[in-house]
Structure 1
Amino acid sequence: MELRHIRYFLAVAEERNVTRAAEKLGIGQPPLSQQIHALEDELGVRLFRRTGHGVVLTEAGEAFAVDAKRIMADARIAIENAQSAGRGEIGQFNIGFTESAAFNPVVSKLIRAYRQAYPNVTLTLAEGNTAQLLSYLDDGRVDVAFVRLGSVSPAGVQFDHIAIEPMKVVLPITHRLAKKRRIDLSQLADDPFVMLPREASPTLHDVIVGACRDAGFDPIEGQQAPQLSSVVNLVAAEFGVSIVPASVCQIQVEGVVYNDVAGKAIPIRLALASRIDTMPAKTANFLAIARTFASPIE
């Protein structure tokens, strides 16, 4: 039995006339009669009884019509669901983000806009460092990931620019420079730096080291921290100083101050990573919205 047989049956049942049903379906009357007879032979029951004006459903036909309508309705729903999924309008979408990315206002605005545009897509969020997120992207655990963009792009990954933000110095409140509005990085040459391990966040690590070297010194790498919030807490505990993206200043911890960098700003870029080899409609839709929120590249 095929769906067309059920469609033919329902057309005849609705019109109560094979000729009118054939005209409605756009096929000839003899082929339609043959299909109805074939369906009856397959079921082993008569579905219609002939009258002087056409046909009427038998008791078996009445029973079959109930389920036939449900089957056709389910088929329409299946088709609509498949088409919606093909357009990226339903399903699940997995977004990864670094801790610092979560504080960037562009990220929350972008996700909110996507949810409004595609309310029937279920979002799941996964936090991790850059290395973890790129691994998640590779094995399909996330569809896109907000990461700090470095100079090296892993194979099979594309990066869409989202935002550029300055870096800030974070100091213990007891530090000799804590009350200065702007800090010359060369003044921190003798301070230990609390930093994330390079393998966890190579871009952030390299930006900090590069900024210090531009200021004339190699930073003294002190206590390592597993995540940026831990960096701030360790600075508060006077393990050293650090440099963090400006959005991290939203982490308000007693015992620290955030200061601007004197001279030329130290920029760090936020990007949206996605796989090149596969681009489902949901990912393409998210990237399209992301590009409308991206700040100009300076």
Structure 2
Amino acid sequence: MELRHLRYFCAVAEDGHMTRAAERVGIAQPALSQQIRGLEEELGVQLFDRIGRGLVLNEAGRLFLDEAHDLLRRVERAATTAREAGRGEVGRLRVGFTASTCFNPAVTRVLKSFCEAWPRVELVLEEGRSSLLQAALEGGRLDAAFLRPPLSSTDNLDFVLVATEPMVVALPAGHRLDGRRSLALEELRDEAFILYPRATGPGLSENVVAACQKAGFAPRVAQQTPQLATTVNLVAAAMGIAIVPDCMRQLRPNSVRYVPLRDGSLQAEFGLAWKRQDQSRAVHHLIRTASPSS
């Protein structure tokens, strides 16, 4: 039994006349009569009572008509859903983000704009370390992720820059430099630094160390932390100072002071990464939403 058999049957049942039904479905009347007889033979039951030149549904036919209509409606809904998914209008999008990028208002803007534009696409969010998020992208477990460059590998991933923000000095409240409006890097040469290792924040730690070396000193690293949020917590505990993205100001506002760097040379970037071969329209919608030019 094929869907066309159901459509033919419904047309005959609704018109009660083989010739009119044949004109409606666009086939010859003898061919339609043959299709209906074949359907009845397949089911092993007559669906119509033949009265003169007309056809009247019997009890079996009336029950079968209800089920046929329901099945055809479900098939149409399935086809509509498939077409909408192909256009990226419905479905599910798995998006990752690092602990620090979620504090940036640009991420909030992108997610809010995407949900407003594509309300029937479900966003499934996952927080993780950069290295793990990249592995999840390449393995197909995530569709996109907000990451800080550089990526450990760009063989299979594409990337669009979303935002750039200054790095600031995080000091424990009551620190000798507390109250300063800005600081030069060389003023930090005697401080104990709290850094985040490359496995968690690729690029940021290296940039901080390189900037300090350019300023004439190698930073004395007192602690390494698994993520930026932990770094700020250790600063609050007066275990050292840190240089973090400006968006981290939202953490520990009563126990940590954030002071801009004077020359503004240290910048933190982040963007959206996705698998290069991904043809999903929903992913492309998110990319366009995240692009600064959008």
Quote the Cα distance in structure 2 between the aligned partners of 1:49 and 1:295: 67
Equivalent AA in structure 1 for residue 165 of structure 2 = E
Query: Which residue pairs with 2:266 in the alignment?
Result: 266
Matches within 5 A, 1:230-245: 230-245=230-245
Query: Which residue pairs with 1:115 in the alignment?
Result: 115
TM-score, L = length of structure 1: 0.94
2:192·2:222 contact (CA, 8 Å) conserved in 1? yes
Change (3 A) 1:289 1:264: closer
Indicate whether 1:41 and 2:41 are aligned.
yes
Deviations 1:142-189 (A, max 9, x none): 211101112764320111110111110111223222221110101111
1:146·1:272 contact (CA, 8 Å) conserved in 2? yes
Deviations 1:26-51 (A, max 9, x none): 11111111111111111111111222
Change (3 A) 1:215 1:151: farther
Q: Secondary structure at the match of 1:181?
A: coil
Deviations 1:120-150 (A, max 9, x none): 2221111112112112212222211101112
Query: Which residue pairs with 2:220 in the alignment?
Result: 220
Equivalent AA in structure 2 for residue 46 of structure 1 = Q
Change (3 A) 1:83 1:148: same
Change (3 A) 1:148 1:120: same
Equivalent AA in structure 2 for residue 261 of structure 1 = L
1:167·1:261 contact (CA, 8 Å) conserved in 2? yes
1:96·1:125 contact (CA, 8 Å) conserved in 2? yes
- Once superposed, what is the RMSD of the aligned Cα atoms? 1.6
Deviations 1:74-117 (A, max 9, x none): 11111112112212222221111111111111111111111112
Quote the Cα distance in structure 2 between the aligned partners of 1:205 and 1:48: 79
Matches within 5 A, 1:199-218: 199-218=199-218
Quote the Cα distance in structure 2 between the aligned partners of 1:23 and 1:251: 72
Quote the Cα distance in structure 1 between the aligned partners of 2:61 and 2:152: 68
Q: Is there any run of 5+ residues in structure 2 with no aligned partner, and where?
A: none
Count how many residue pairs are aligned between Structure 1 and Structure 2.
Answer: 294
Q: Secondary structure at the match of 1:183?
A: coil
Q: Is there any run of 5+ residues in structure 1 with no aligned partner, and where?
A: none
Percentage of identical aligned residues = 43
Structure 1 residue 243, shift from structure 2 partner: 0.4
Equivalent AA in structure 1 for residue 279 of structure 2 = M
Query: Which residue pairs with 2:32 in the alignment?
Result: 32
Quote the Cα distance in structure 1 between the aligned partners of 2:140 and 2:77: 28
Structure 1 residue 53, shift from structure 2 partner: 4.9
Structure 1 residue 278, shift from structure 2 partner: 2.1
